Structure 1
Amino acid sequence: MKRARVAAGGVLHDAVEENGCIKLEDGRLLNEENVEWLPPVQPQTTFALGLNYADHAKELSFKAPEEPLVFLKGPNTFIGHRGETKRPQEAENMHYECELGVVIGRTAKDVKKEDAYDYVAGYTIGNDYAIRDYLENYYRPNLRVKNRDTCTPLGPWFVDRDDIYDPMNLTLKTYINDRLTQEGTTADMIFKIPDLIEYLSSFMTLNPNDVILTGTPEGLDQVHAGDTVVTEIEGIGALTNYIRHA
Protein backbone atom coordinates (compact mmCIF):
# COMPACT_ATOMS: atom_id res chain seq x y z
CA MET A 1 0.00 0.00 0.00
CA LYS A 2 1.14 3.54 -0.77
CA ARG A 3 0.66 5.90 2.18
CA ALA A 4 1.12 9.65 2.48
CA ARG A 5 0.81 12.54 4.91
CA VAL A 6 -0.96 15.58 3.50
CA ALA A 7 -2.68 18.75 4.61
CA ALA A 8 -6.08 19.66 3.20
CA GLY A 9 -8.20 22.55 4.39
CA GLY A 10 -5.63 23.30 7.06
CA VAL A 11 -5.97 19.82 8.59
CA LEU A 12 -3.29 17.12 8.62
CA HIS A 13 -4.39 13.77 7.18
CA ASP A 14 -2.97 10.31 6.76
CA ALA A 15 -3.87 9.24 3.26
CA VAL A 16 -3.49 6.41 0.77
CA GLU A 17 -3.27 6.21 -3.00
CA GLU A 18 -6.41 5.13 -4.84
CA ASN A 19 -6.76 5.16 -8.61
CA GLY A 20 -4.22 7.93 -8.98
CA CYS A 21 -5.90 10.10 -6.34
CA ILE A 22 -5.36 10.87 -2.66
CA LYS A 23 -7.88 9.16 -0.38
CA LEU A 24 -8.25 10.78 3.04
CA GLU A 25 -9.37 8.95 6.18
CA ASP A 26 -12.87 10.37 5.76
CA GLY A 27 -13.18 8.82 2.32
CA ARG A 28 -12.70 11.99 0.27
CA LEU A 29 -10.77 11.60 -2.97
CA LEU A 30 -8.58 14.56 -3.97
CA ASN A 31 -6.20 15.25 -6.81
CA GLU A 32 -2.55 15.59 -5.83
CA GLU A 33 -2.62 19.29 -6.76
CA ASN A 34 -5.33 19.93 -4.17
CA VAL A 35 -3.34 18.95 -1.09
CA GLU A 36 -0.12 20.07 0.56
CA TRP A 37 2.26 17.15 0.69
CA LEU A 38 4.38 16.46 3.76
CA PRO A 39 7.15 13.89 4.05
CA PRO A 40 5.31 10.54 4.23
CA VAL A 41 6.90 9.78 7.60
CA GLN A 42 8.21 12.16 10.23
CA PRO A 43 11.93 11.42 9.93
CA GLN A 44 13.76 10.79 13.16
CA THR A 45 17.51 10.18 12.95
CA THR A 46 18.33 10.26 9.25
CA PHE A 47 21.44 8.64 7.87
CA ALA A 48 22.73 9.57 4.41
CA LEU A 49 25.22 7.45 2.51
CA GLY A 50 28.03 8.96 0.51
CA LEU A 51 29.67 7.22 -2.45
CA ASN A 52 27.53 4.11 -2.08
CA TYR A 53 27.44 3.41 -5.83
CA ALA A 54 30.74 2.52 -7.48
CA ASP A 55 29.80 4.32 -10.72
CA HIS A 56 29.01 7.50 -8.79
CA ALA A 57 32.30 7.34 -6.89
CA LYS A 58 34.09 6.91 -10.21
CA GLU A 59 32.38 9.91 -11.83
CA LEU A 60 33.59 12.01 -8.87
CA SER A 61 37.11 10.56 -9.25
CA PHE A 62 36.97 8.83 -5.88
CA LYS A 63 37.83 5.32 -4.84
CA ALA A 64 34.83 3.40 -3.55
CA PRO A 65 34.83 3.36 0.27
CA GLU A 66 35.79 0.22 2.18
CA GLU A 67 33.16 0.79 4.84
CA PRO A 68 29.94 2.83 4.74
CA LEU A 69 30.47 6.58 4.57
CA VAL A 70 27.58 7.99 6.62
CA PHE A 71 26.53 11.43 7.75
CA LEU A 72 23.41 12.74 9.52
CA LYS A 73 20.69 15.13 8.39
CA GLY A 74 18.69 17.60 10.48
CA PRO A 75 14.86 17.75 10.44
CA ASN A 76 14.58 21.14 8.74
CA THR A 77 16.13 19.80 5.55
CA PHE A 78 12.97 17.82 4.74
CA ILE A 79 10.06 18.92 2.60
CA GLY A 80 7.34 17.00 0.78
CA HIS A 81 6.30 16.23 -2.77
CA ARG A 82 5.71 19.31 -4.95
CA GLY A 83 7.66 21.42 -2.45
CA GLU A 84 10.12 24.21 -3.21
CA THR A 85 13.84 23.87 -2.59
CA LYS A 86 15.82 27.08 -2.16
CA ARG A 87 18.97 27.37 -4.23
CA PRO A 88 21.54 29.74 -2.66
CA GLN A 89 22.17 32.75 -4.88
CA GLU A 90 25.94 32.30 -4.60
CA ALA A 91 26.00 28.56 -5.31
CA GLU A 92 27.62 27.41 -8.55
CA ASN A 93 27.43 23.62 -8.03
CA MET A 94 24.09 22.25 -6.84
CA HIS A 95 23.23 18.66 -7.78
CA TYR A 96 20.22 16.43 -7.18
CA GLU A 97 20.70 12.94 -5.73
CA CYS A 98 17.93 10.39 -6.28
CA GLU A 99 18.04 7.93 -3.37
CA LEU A 100 16.07 4.99 -2.04
CA GLY A 101 14.96 5.79 1.51
CA VAL A 102 14.69 2.88 3.95
CA VAL A 103 12.34 3.51 6.89
CA ILE A 104 13.05 1.59 10.09
CA GLY A 105 9.98 -0.03 11.63
CA ARG A 106 11.11 -1.17 15.08
CA THR A 107 13.96 -0.80 17.52
CA ALA A 108 17.12 -2.39 16.15
CA LYS A 109 20.39 -3.11 17.96
CA ASP A 110 23.09 -5.57 16.97
CA VAL A 111 21.05 -6.84 14.03
CA LYS A 112 22.60 -9.45 11.76
CA LYS A 113 22.25 -8.84 8.04
CA GLU A 114 20.20 -12.01 7.50
CA ASP A 115 17.55 -10.55 9.85
CA ALA A 116 17.78 -6.94 8.68
CA TYR A 117 14.60 -6.77 6.62
CA ASP A 118 12.57 -7.73 9.70
CA TYR A 119 13.36 -4.24 10.99
CA VAL A 120 12.31 -2.37 7.84
CA ALA A 121 8.85 -0.78 7.77
CA GLY A 122 8.99 0.32 4.15
CA TYR A 123 10.50 2.62 1.55
CA THR A 124 10.27 6.11 0.14
CA ILE A 125 12.20 8.38 -2.23
CA GLY A 126 14.69 11.03 -1.15
CA ASN A 127 16.25 13.75 -3.29
CA ASP A 128 19.29 14.67 -1.24
CA TYR A 129 20.56 17.87 -2.88
CA ALA A 130 24.26 18.62 -2.50
CA ILE A 131 25.67 22.13 -2.72
CA ARG A 132 29.21 21.18 -3.54
CA ASP A 133 30.68 24.70 -3.46
CA TYR A 134 31.22 24.09 0.26
CA LEU A 135 32.63 20.57 0.07
CA GLU A 136 35.91 20.04 1.92
CA ASN A 137 36.19 16.58 0.37
CA TYR A 138 33.77 13.75 -0.29
CA TYR A 139 34.62 12.10 3.01
CA ARG A 140 33.76 15.24 4.99
CA PRO A 141 30.53 16.79 3.64
CA ASN A 142 30.10 19.74 5.98
CA LEU A 143 26.76 21.16 7.10
CA ARG A 144 26.51 23.75 4.33
CA VAL A 145 26.66 20.99 1.72
CA LYS A 146 24.00 18.62 3.03
CA ASN A 147 21.97 20.18 5.84
CA ARG A 148 20.33 23.24 4.32
CA ASP A 149 16.65 23.95 4.92
CA THR A 150 14.34 22.57 2.17
CA CYS A 151 17.14 20.67 0.42
CA THR A 152 15.89 17.12 1.01
CA PRO A 153 12.49 16.44 -0.56
CA LEU A 154 11.04 13.14 0.68
CA GLY A 155 8.07 11.21 -0.69
CA PRO A 156 5.55 11.28 -2.14
CA TRP A 157 4.69 7.85 -0.81
CA PHE A 158 5.68 5.48 1.94
CA VAL A 159 5.40 1.97 0.50
CA ASP A 160 5.09 -1.01 2.83
CA ARG A 161 8.10 -3.34 2.92
CA ASP A 162 6.16 -6.37 1.69
CA ASP A 163 4.92 -4.48 -1.38
CA ILE A 164 8.47 -4.18 -2.74
CA TYR A 165 9.57 -7.64 -3.84
CA ASP A 166 13.27 -6.86 -4.19
CA PRO A 167 14.46 -3.42 -3.00
CA MET A 168 17.94 -4.29 -4.27
CA ASN A 169 16.77 -4.41 -7.88
CA LEU A 170 14.87 -1.17 -8.50
CA THR A 171 15.39 1.34 -11.30
CA LEU A 172 16.11 4.95 -10.29
CA LYS A 173 15.62 7.88 -12.70
CA THR A 174 15.90 11.65 -12.50
CA TYR A 175 14.43 14.20 -14.89
CA ILE A 176 15.11 17.93 -15.12
CA ASN A 177 12.31 19.73 -16.96
CA ASP A 178 11.22 16.38 -18.47
CA ARG A 179 14.76 15.59 -19.69
CA LEU A 180 16.14 12.26 -18.43
CA THR A 181 19.48 13.00 -16.75
CA GLN A 182 20.07 9.99 -14.48
CA GLU A 183 19.26 6.31 -14.66
CA GLY A 184 20.59 3.55 -12.47
CA THR A 185 19.65 0.58 -10.33
CA THR A 186 19.79 -0.20 -6.63
CA ALA A 187 21.53 -3.44 -7.62
CA ASP A 188 24.70 -1.36 -7.98
CA MET A 189 24.88 -0.30 -4.34
CA ILE A 190 28.22 -1.10 -2.73
CA PHE A 191 26.69 -1.59 0.72
CA LYS A 192 23.27 -3.22 0.47
CA ILE A 193 20.36 -2.52 2.79
CA PRO A 194 21.14 -5.48 5.12
CA ASP A 195 24.80 -4.39 5.26
CA LEU A 196 23.79 -0.89 6.30
CA ILE A 197 21.38 -2.01 9.00
CA GLU A 198 23.93 -4.45 10.43
CA TYR A 199 26.65 -1.77 10.34
CA LEU A 200 24.63 1.03 11.94
CA SER A 201 22.98 -1.13 14.58
CA SER A 202 26.35 -2.56 15.61
CA PHE A 203 27.27 0.64 17.43
CA MET A 204 23.97 2.51 17.94
CA THR A 205 20.28 1.83 18.35
CA LEU A 206 17.97 2.40 15.39
CA ASN A 207 14.44 3.51 16.17
CA PRO A 208 11.09 3.56 14.33
CA ASN A 209 10.97 6.25 11.61
CA ASP A 210 14.73 6.50 11.40
CA VAL A 211 15.53 6.82 7.70
CA ILE A 212 18.52 5.54 5.74
CA LEU A 213 19.13 7.39 2.47
CA THR A 214 21.15 4.84 0.57
CA GLY A 215 23.10 6.95 -1.93
CA THR A 216 22.77 7.82 -5.61
CA PRO A 217 24.11 6.32 -8.85
CA GLU A 218 26.07 8.20 -11.49
CA GLY A 219 24.46 10.81 -13.69
CA LEU A 220 24.54 14.04 -11.70
CA ASP A 221 23.64 17.36 -13.28
CA GLN A 222 23.23 20.97 -12.22
CA VAL A 223 19.90 22.42 -11.12
CA HIS A 224 18.95 26.08 -11.42
CA ALA A 225 16.16 28.31 -10.19
CA GLY A 226 13.05 27.62 -12.24
CA ASP A 227 13.84 23.93 -12.79
CA THR A 228 11.38 21.14 -12.08
CA VAL A 229 13.17 18.02 -10.85
CA VAL A 230 11.51 14.60 -10.72
CA THR A 231 13.20 11.70 -8.95
CA GLU A 232 11.56 8.36 -9.63
CA ILE A 233 12.05 4.87 -8.20
CA GLU A 234 10.40 1.79 -9.60
CA GLY A 235 7.45 0.61 -7.50
CA ILE A 236 7.50 3.64 -5.20
CA GLY A 237 6.54 6.62 -7.32
CA ALA A 238 7.81 9.93 -8.64
CA LEU A 239 8.85 12.79 -6.35
CA THR A 240 8.44 16.26 -7.90
CA ASN A 241 10.39 19.26 -6.63
CA TYR A 242 10.72 22.89 -7.73
CA ILE A 243 13.94 24.90 -7.50
CA ARG A 244 13.65 28.54 -6.41
CA HIS A 245 16.17 31.22 -5.48
CA ALA A 246 16.79 31.51 -1.76
Structure 2
Amino acid sequence: MRPGMLAADGTVRDLSDHVEDITGATLDDAALAKLAALDVAALPVVEGDLDLAPCVGGVGKFLCIGLNYSDHAEEAGMPIPEHPILFMKATSAIVGPNDDVVLPRGSVAGDWEVELGVVIGKTAKYVSEEDALDYVAGYCVVNDVSERDFQIKLTGQWTKGKSCDTFGPIGPWLVSRDEVADPQNLSLSCDVNGQRMQSGTTGKMIFSVAEIIAHLSQLMTLHPGDVIATGTPPGVGMGIKPDPIYLKPGDVMELEIEGLGRQRQTVRADD
Protein backbone atom coordinates (compact mmCIF):
# COMPACT_ATOMS: atom_id res chain seq x y z
CA MET A 1 0.00 0.00 0.00
CA ARG A 2 1.39 3.38 -1.02
CA PRO A 3 0.18 6.95 -0.45
CA GLY A 4 -0.82 8.81 -3.57
CA MET A 5 -2.00 12.16 -4.87
CA LEU A 6 -4.59 12.75 -7.58
CA ALA A 7 -3.08 15.00 -10.25
CA ALA A 8 -5.00 17.50 -12.35
CA ASP A 9 -4.64 15.24 -15.39
CA GLY A 10 -6.52 12.44 -13.62
CA THR A 11 -3.47 10.28 -12.92
CA VAL A 12 -2.50 9.16 -9.43
CA ARG A 13 1.05 10.09 -8.40
CA ASP A 14 3.18 8.13 -5.92
CA LEU A 15 3.96 10.02 -2.70
CA SER A 16 5.91 7.26 -0.98
CA ASP A 17 9.24 9.11 -1.34
CA HIS A 18 7.78 12.01 0.62
CA VAL A 19 5.40 10.52 3.18
CA GLU A 20 4.97 7.02 4.58
CA ASP A 21 1.18 7.13 4.82
CA ILE A 22 -1.73 9.55 5.05
CA THR A 23 -2.51 9.45 8.79
CA GLY A 24 -3.10 11.88 11.60
CA ALA A 25 0.66 12.39 11.83
CA THR A 26 0.74 13.86 8.32
CA LEU A 27 -2.43 15.96 8.32
CA ASP A 28 -1.48 19.17 10.08
CA ASP A 29 -1.26 22.39 8.09
CA ALA A 30 2.54 22.31 7.80
CA ALA A 31 2.63 18.73 6.51
CA LEU A 32 -0.16 19.37 4.02
CA ALA A 33 1.61 22.54 2.84
CA LYS A 34 4.74 20.49 2.08
CA LEU A 35 2.71 18.08 -0.03
CA ALA A 36 0.97 20.95 -1.78
CA ALA A 37 4.36 22.46 -2.67
CA LEU A 38 5.55 19.33 -4.48
CA ASP A 39 6.04 19.36 -8.24
CA VAL A 40 3.20 16.96 -9.04
CA ALA A 41 4.34 16.49 -12.62
CA ALA A 42 7.66 15.13 -11.36
CA LEU A 43 6.07 12.48 -9.15
CA PRO A 44 5.92 8.91 -10.52
CA VAL A 45 2.63 7.88 -12.10
CA VAL A 46 0.94 4.88 -10.46
CA GLU A 47 0.29 2.48 -13.31
CA GLY A 48 -2.39 -0.20 -13.66
CA ASP A 49 -5.68 -0.74 -11.90
CA LEU A 50 -5.90 0.98 -8.55
CA ASP A 51 -7.10 -0.82 -5.44
CA LEU A 52 -7.87 2.20 -3.30
CA ALA A 53 -7.43 1.96 0.46
CA PRO A 54 -9.32 4.24 2.88
CA CYS A 55 -8.24 7.81 2.24
CA VAL A 56 -6.94 8.19 5.81
CA GLY A 57 -5.18 5.53 7.86
CA GLY A 58 -4.80 4.93 11.57
CA VAL A 59 -8.17 6.45 12.44
CA GLY A 60 -8.48 6.89 16.19
CA LYS A 61 -12.17 7.77 16.46
CA PHE A 62 -15.01 7.30 13.96
CA LEU A 63 -17.71 9.68 15.17
CA CYS A 64 -21.14 9.86 13.53
CA ILE A 65 -23.97 12.37 13.72
CA GLY A 66 -27.52 11.04 13.43
CA LEU A 67 -30.64 12.77 12.08
CA ASN A 68 -28.64 15.78 10.91
CA TYR A 69 -30.67 16.62 7.80
CA SER A 70 -34.04 18.27 8.30
CA ASP A 71 -35.59 16.35 5.39
CA HIS A 72 -34.17 13.03 6.67
CA ALA A 73 -35.58 13.66 10.16
CA GLU A 74 -38.95 14.30 8.52
CA GLU A 75 -38.60 11.08 6.52
CA ALA A 76 -37.84 9.15 9.71
CA GLY A 77 -40.74 10.76 11.56
CA MET A 78 -38.35 12.07 14.22
CA PRO A 79 -38.29 15.52 15.85
CA ILE A 80 -35.50 17.94 15.01
CA PRO A 81 -32.80 17.33 17.65
CA GLU A 82 -31.79 20.15 19.97
CA HIS A 83 -28.15 19.04 19.95
CA PRO A 84 -26.14 16.82 17.59
CA ILE A 85 -27.02 13.14 18.08
CA LEU A 86 -23.75 11.25 18.48
CA PHE A 87 -22.94 7.59 18.03
CA MET A 88 -19.71 5.75 17.38
CA LYS A 89 -18.76 3.47 14.54
CA ALA A 90 -16.01 0.92 15.19
CA THR A 91 -12.80 1.73 13.31
CA SER A 92 -12.67 -1.95 12.32
CA ALA A 93 -15.60 -1.18 10.01
CA ILE A 94 -13.39 1.03 7.82
CA VAL A 95 -12.64 -0.20 4.30
CA GLY A 96 -11.68 1.31 0.97
CA PRO A 97 -14.21 3.15 -1.20
CA ASN A 98 -14.66 0.31 -3.67
CA ASP A 99 -14.34 -2.68 -1.36
CA ASP A 100 -17.22 -5.12 -0.99
CA VAL A 101 -19.76 -4.46 1.73
CA VAL A 102 -20.36 -7.73 3.57
CA LEU A 103 -23.71 -8.35 5.24
CA PRO A 104 -23.09 -10.19 8.53
CA ARG A 105 -24.80 -13.40 9.50
CA GLY A 106 -28.40 -12.75 10.51
CA SER A 107 -28.62 -9.49 8.58
CA VAL A 108 -32.07 -8.75 7.14
CA ALA A 109 -32.07 -4.94 7.02
CA GLY A 110 -28.85 -3.61 5.51
CA ASP A 111 -29.09 0.04 4.48
CA TRP A 112 -27.10 2.77 2.76
CA GLU A 113 -26.26 6.32 3.90
CA VAL A 114 -24.15 8.74 1.87
CA GLU A 115 -22.45 11.23 4.18
CA LEU A 116 -19.95 14.06 4.12
CA GLY A 117 -16.89 12.91 6.06
CA VAL A 118 -14.72 15.38 7.95
CA VAL A 119 -11.13 14.46 8.83
CA ILE A 120 -9.55 16.34 11.73
CA GLY A 121 -6.09 17.78 11.07
CA LYS A 122 -4.95 19.09 14.45
CA THR A 123 -5.86 18.56 18.07
CA ALA A 124 -9.16 20.25 18.93
CA LYS A 125 -10.32 20.93 22.48
CA TYR A 126 -12.91 23.56 23.49
CA VAL A 127 -12.95 24.96 19.95
CA SER A 128 -15.25 27.83 19.04
CA GLU A 129 -17.64 27.55 16.12
CA GLU A 130 -15.86 30.50 14.48
CA ASP A 131 -12.50 28.68 14.52
CA ALA A 132 -13.74 25.13 14.02
CA LEU A 133 -13.05 24.76 10.29
CA ASP A 134 -9.38 25.61 10.90
CA TYR A 135 -9.09 22.19 12.57
CA VAL A 136 -10.22 20.32 9.45
CA ALA A 137 -7.58 18.59 7.33
CA GLY A 138 -10.02 17.68 4.60
CA TYR A 139 -13.26 16.11 3.48
CA CYS A 140 -14.26 12.77 1.98
CA VAL A 141 -17.19 10.56 1.06
CA VAL A 142 -18.43 8.14 3.73
CA ASN A 143 -20.98 5.36 3.37
CA ASP A 144 -22.45 4.90 6.83
CA VAL A 145 -23.71 1.39 6.07
CA SER A 146 -26.25 0.27 8.66
CA GLU A 147 -28.04 -2.89 9.75
CA ARG A 148 -31.37 -1.54 10.96
CA ASP A 149 -32.48 -4.62 12.91
CA PHE A 150 -29.16 -4.66 14.76
CA GLN A 151 -29.39 -0.89 15.25
CA ILE A 152 -32.97 -0.72 16.54
CA LYS A 153 -34.04 -4.14 17.79
CA LEU A 154 -30.98 -5.52 19.58
CA THR A 155 -31.46 -3.22 22.58
CA GLY A 156 -28.72 -0.72 23.34
CA GLN A 157 -26.71 1.68 21.25
CA TRP A 158 -27.03 2.38 17.52
CA THR A 159 -23.37 1.35 17.38
CA LYS A 160 -24.46 -2.30 17.18
CA GLY A 161 -25.98 -1.79 13.74
CA LYS A 162 -23.27 0.57 12.51
CA SER A 163 -20.04 -1.24 13.32
CA CYS A 164 -20.16 -4.49 11.36
CA ASP A 165 -17.03 -5.27 9.36
CA THR A 166 -16.94 -3.32 6.03
CA PHE A 167 -19.70 -0.93 7.16
CA GLY A 168 -17.45 2.15 6.83
CA PRO A 169 -16.21 2.75 3.26
CA ILE A 170 -14.16 5.98 3.21
CA GLY A 171 -12.79 7.81 0.17
CA PRO A 172 -11.77 7.71 -2.63
CA TRP A 173 -9.97 10.99 -1.93
CA LEU A 174 -9.15 13.09 1.08
CA VAL A 175 -9.75 16.55 -0.36
CA SER A 176 -7.92 19.24 1.61
CA ARG A 177 -10.08 21.95 3.13
CA ASP A 178 -8.67 24.66 0.89
CA GLU A 179 -10.23 22.84 -2.07
CA VAL A 180 -13.72 22.95 -0.53
CA ALA A 181 -15.00 26.51 -0.60
CA ASP A 182 -18.10 25.80 1.50
CA PRO A 183 -18.80 22.43 3.14
CA GLN A 184 -22.43 23.53 3.53
CA ASN A 185 -22.94 23.80 -0.22
CA LEU A 186 -22.18 20.35 -1.60
CA SER A 187 -24.54 18.04 -3.47
CA LEU A 188 -24.49 14.36 -2.51
CA SER A 189 -26.17 11.27 -3.92
CA CYS A 190 -26.47 7.50 -3.62
CA ASP A 191 -27.60 5.09 -6.34
CA VAL A 192 -28.51 1.47 -5.66
CA ASN A 193 -28.48 -0.83 -8.69
CA GLY A 194 -28.49 2.23 -10.95
CA GLN A 195 -31.54 3.82 -9.32
CA ARG A 196 -31.16 7.18 -7.59
CA MET A 197 -32.16 6.66 -3.95
CA GLN A 198 -30.60 9.64 -2.20
CA SER A 199 -30.15 13.13 -3.53
CA GLY A 200 -29.49 16.09 -1.29
CA THR A 201 -27.34 19.00 -0.30
CA THR A 202 -25.25 19.67 2.79
CA GLY A 203 -27.15 22.96 3.01
CA LYS A 204 -29.94 20.93 4.64
CA MET A 205 -27.79 20.01 7.62
CA ILE A 206 -29.38 20.89 10.94
CA PHE A 207 -25.94 21.33 12.51
CA SER A 208 -23.15 22.62 10.27
CA VAL A 209 -19.67 21.11 10.13
CA ALA A 210 -18.41 23.99 12.27
CA GLU A 211 -21.16 23.50 14.84
CA ILE A 212 -20.47 19.76 15.01
CA ILE A 213 -16.73 20.18 15.58
CA ALA A 214 -17.28 22.88 18.18
CA HIS A 215 -19.85 20.75 20.01
CA LEU A 216 -17.80 17.56 20.00
CA SER A 217 -14.67 19.38 21.14
CA GLN A 218 -16.48 20.45 24.30
CA LEU A 219 -17.08 16.77 25.11
CA MET A 220 -13.79 15.15 24.10
CA THR A 221 -10.49 15.97 22.49
CA LEU A 222 -10.53 15.49 18.73
CA HIS A 223 -7.22 14.17 17.42
CA PRO A 224 -5.61 14.36 13.98
CA GLY A 225 -6.98 11.58 11.81
CA ASP A 226 -10.32 11.32 13.62
CA VAL A 227 -13.22 11.01 11.18
CA ILE A 228 -16.66 12.56 11.63
CA ALA A 229 -19.57 11.39 9.46
CA THR A 230 -22.01 14.29 9.45
CA GLY A 231 -25.37 12.69 8.67
CA THR A 232 -27.34 11.63 5.62
CA PRO A 233 -30.07 13.13 3.42
CA PRO A 234 -33.42 11.38 2.83
CA GLY A 235 -33.79 8.30 0.66
CA VAL A 236 -32.46 5.55 2.90
CA GLY A 237 -34.01 2.11 2.50
CA MET A 238 -35.60 2.20 5.94
CA GLY A 239 -37.57 5.32 4.99
CA ILE A 240 -39.23 3.93 1.86
CA LYS A 241 -43.01 3.72 2.24
CA PRO A 242 -45.03 1.60 2.53
CA ASP A 243 -42.39 -1.16 2.39
CA PRO A 244 -38.74 -0.48 3.20
CA ILE A 245 -36.10 -1.75 0.77
CA TYR A 246 -32.95 -3.32 2.19
CA LEU A 247 -29.65 -4.49 0.74
CA LYS A 248 -29.20 -7.99 -0.59
CA PRO A 249 -26.19 -9.84 -2.01
CA GLY A 250 -25.36 -8.65 -5.50
CA ASP A 251 -26.63 -5.11 -4.99
CA VAL A 252 -24.34 -2.28 -6.08
CA MET A 253 -24.13 1.05 -4.26
CA GLU A 254 -22.63 4.13 -5.94
CA LEU A 255 -22.13 7.24 -3.82
CA GLU A 256 -20.87 10.67 -4.82
CA ILE A 257 -20.30 14.06 -3.25
CA GLU A 258 -19.61 17.12 -5.35
CA GLY A 259 -15.85 17.60 -5.72
CA LEU A 260 -14.96 14.69 -3.42
CA GLY A 261 -15.22 11.73 -5.78
CA ARG A 262 -17.27 8.59 -6.17
CA GLN A 263 -17.48 5.25 -4.36
CA ARG A 264 -18.79 1.92 -5.64
CA GLN A 265 -19.44 -1.14 -3.49
CA THR A 266 -20.87 -4.54 -4.29
CA VAL A 267 -22.85 -6.21 -1.51
CA ARG A 268 -22.25 -9.82 -0.55
CA ALA A 269 -23.17 -12.08 2.32
CA ASP A 270 -20.66 -13.21 4.92
CA ASP A 271 -19.45 -16.78 4.55
TM-score, L = length of structure 1:
0.89
TM-aligned CA distance change 1:75 to 1:135, over 3 Å:
closer
Q: Hey, what does 1:62 align to over in structure 2?
A: 78
Q: Is the 8 A contact 2:249 2:267 kept in 1?
A: yes
Q: How many residues align?
A: 232
The structure 1 residue matched to 2:103, chosen from 87, 93, 100, is 87
CA distance in 2, matches of 1:234, 1:30: 26
Bigger Cα Rg: 2
Q: Hey, what does 1:242 align to over in structure 2?
A: 266
The structure 1 residue matched to 2:129, chosen from 113, 116, 120, is 113
Name whichever of 208-217 and 80-89 sits farther off: 80-89
Q: How many Å apart are 1:37 and its aligned residue?
A: 1.4
CA distance in 1, matches of 2:235, 2:208: 20
Q: Hey, what does 2:27 align to over in structure 1?
A: none
Q: How many Å apart are 1:142 and its aligned residue?
A: 3.3
- Percent identity, please: 38
The structure 1 residue matched to 2:149, chosen from 133, 140, 155, is 133
Over the residues paired in the alignment, what is the CA RMSD in angstroms?
1.6
Runs of 4 or more consecutive aligned structure 1 residues displaced over 4 Å after TM superposition: none
One-letter amino acid of the structure 2 residue matched with residue 27 of structure 1: P
Higher helix share: 2
Matched, 1:123 2:139: yes
Q: How many Å apart are 1:126 and its aligned residue?
A: 0.4
Q: Hey, what does 1:6 align to over in structure 2?
A: none
Q: Hey, what does 1:142 align to over in structure 2?
A: 158
Q: Secondary structure at the match of 1:194?
A: helix
Deviations 1:2-60 (A, max 9, x none): xxxxxxxxxx21111132332223602335xx232111102221110111111111111
Q: Hey, what does 1:38 align to over in structure 2?
A: 53
CA distance in 1, matches of 2:47, 2:189: 27
Q: Secondary structure at the match of 1:59?
A: helix
Q: Is the 8 A contact 1:172 1:186 kept in 2?
A: yes
Q: Hey, what does 1:185 align to over in structure 2?
A: 201
Q: How many Å apart are 1:201 and its aligned residue?
A: 0.7
CA distance in 1, matches of 2:68, 2:130: 20
Matched, 1:231 2:255: yes
Deviations 1:73-94 (A, max 9, x none): 2221000021011113532221
One-letter amino acid of the structure 1 residue matched with residue 128 of structure 2: K
Unaligned runs of 5+ in 2: 16-42, 238-245
Q: Secondary structure at the match of 2:12?
A: strand
One-letter amino acid of the structure 2 residue matched with residue 147 of structure 1: S
Q: How many Å apart are 1:140 and its aligned residue?
A: 5.7
Name whichever of 84-93 and 50-59 sits farther off: 84-93
CA distance in 2, matches of 1:136, 1:113: 32
Matches within 5 A, 1:10-21: 12-18=1-7, 19-21=9-11
Higher strand share: 1
Matched, 1:173 2:163: no
CA distance in 1, matches of 2:159, 2:212: 22
Q: Is the 8 A contact 1:23 1:30 kept in 2?
A: no
Unaligned runs of 5+ in 1: 1-11
TM-score, L = length of structure 2:
0.81
Name whichever of 188-197 and 220-229 sits farther off: 220-229
